[in-house]
Amino acid sequence: MTSQTLSRYPAGRQARIDNLEEDVVIRYSLPCICAAAVILFAGESRPATAAAESYSVVKTAKVGGDGGFDYVYADVAGRRLYIARRGENARMTVFDLDSLAPIGEIPNVNGHGAAVDPMSNHGFTTSKPVVMWDTRTLKPIKSIPVDGNPDGIMFDPFNQRVYIFSHVAPYATVIDTTSGDVVGTIDLGGAPEQAVSDGAGHIYVDIEDKANIAVVDAKTRTVTAHYGLEGKGGTCAGLAMDTKNRILFAACRNPQNLVILGADDGKVISNLPIGRGTDGAVFNPNTMEAFSAQVDGTLTIVKENSPTSFAIEQTVQTMPSAKTLTLDPKTNRVLLIGAEFPPAPPRPPQGGQGNPNPMIPGSFSILVVAK
């Protein structure tokens, strides 16, 4: 309504019209302002929510100590974390899985990794000889002579066996976790790295120097197939599995890819780039995510949207040298180990994973990645 139109009414009526117009403005403008404020607030909250859902290093425990390191192992049932330290003061170090407080050590154990059978309460390390200990007391029980050069290790709950992997023959030594007796060896056809079990009698092993995955019958201890990865991934050092959907995740160094394939037929489903120098992978069935740790200080996280759809969800900056990892499915935390080193000489884009320089004293750390 224009000012010319309003001027034709008497003063009293004009005042009532003015009041009515003001009331209409107030009644209709306040909801609009409130709605706009709600929209603005909602728009501002979305990035914060997305950030809260991202992974990051939520804790770094600088536990120090001398000696080389390789694998880290979470005993989920016993709530302990095992880290082997090699060298002159060789030992197995043990931490509380939740607080990362030190619990104890098993001396004179010069190994690479550990595995625990929660049913027998026996732990094992890939040393030579293999050391078997009581996980409740951390007291050694038995020394088990083995051939080869023990490196990787895996416990299979299917028949309570621990597998000791060597880069030279015999490539796999199988031990009964109750008695500690060697029950046999397996010719895998090449140098093994990480292995996984489907819990139903099948073992899958990265064969690092052959660009394939060996499939093993746990009952007969025989290789039933090799899944070739040529052209997709080579020098594969990490392996994880989605046992429900029967999918394998092979973390490879050259080319630097996470190769995703079917566990029953070896058919490649997808192939995604990762960082330099992977040395371990895990899969969390609670979140449907695969994780690959790299020596360049990155952790690649791949989301399984469906059994045929995969995508890189995030790359987390961790710590250079943090190339191995373990999963605590109870808390959905991923734990890595690393240390500080002086700068390494230049490396080829897809070659080399270690640092020839000595570790900076006291810098050895446990990293926790979580949301």
- Alpha carbons 281 and 71: distance in angstroms, whole number: 11
Quote the pTM value.
Answer: 0.84
233, two tokens: 């991934």
Domain spans of the chain, in order of start: 3-49, 57-370
- Alpha carbons 135 and 142: distance in angstroms, whole number: 13
Nearest Cα residue to 245 out of 233, 262, 267: 262
Looking at the domain 57-370, which fold is it? Methylamine Dehydrogenase; Chain H (2.130.10)
Q: pLDDT digit of tens for each residue in the chain (371 aa)?
A: 433 333 333 344 344 334 434 443 334 344 443 343 333 333 333 333 344 489 999 999 999 999 999 999 999 999 999 999 999 999 999 999 999 999 999 999 999 999 999 999 999 999 999 999 999 999 999 999 999 999 999 999 999 999 999 999 999 999 999 999 999 999 999 999 999 999 999 999 999 999 999 999 999 999 999 999 988 999 999 999 999 999 999 999 999 999 999 999 999 999 999 999 999 999 999 999 999 999 999 999 999 999 999 999 999 999 999 999 999 999 999 999 999 998 877 766 555 556 677 899 999 999 999 99
Judge contact between 59 and 367, C-beta under 8 A. Answer: yes
Q: Name the region of 221 (left: φ>0; alpha: ψ -120 to 50; beta: rest).
A: left
Nearest Cα residue to 335 out of 11, 74, 54, 152: 74
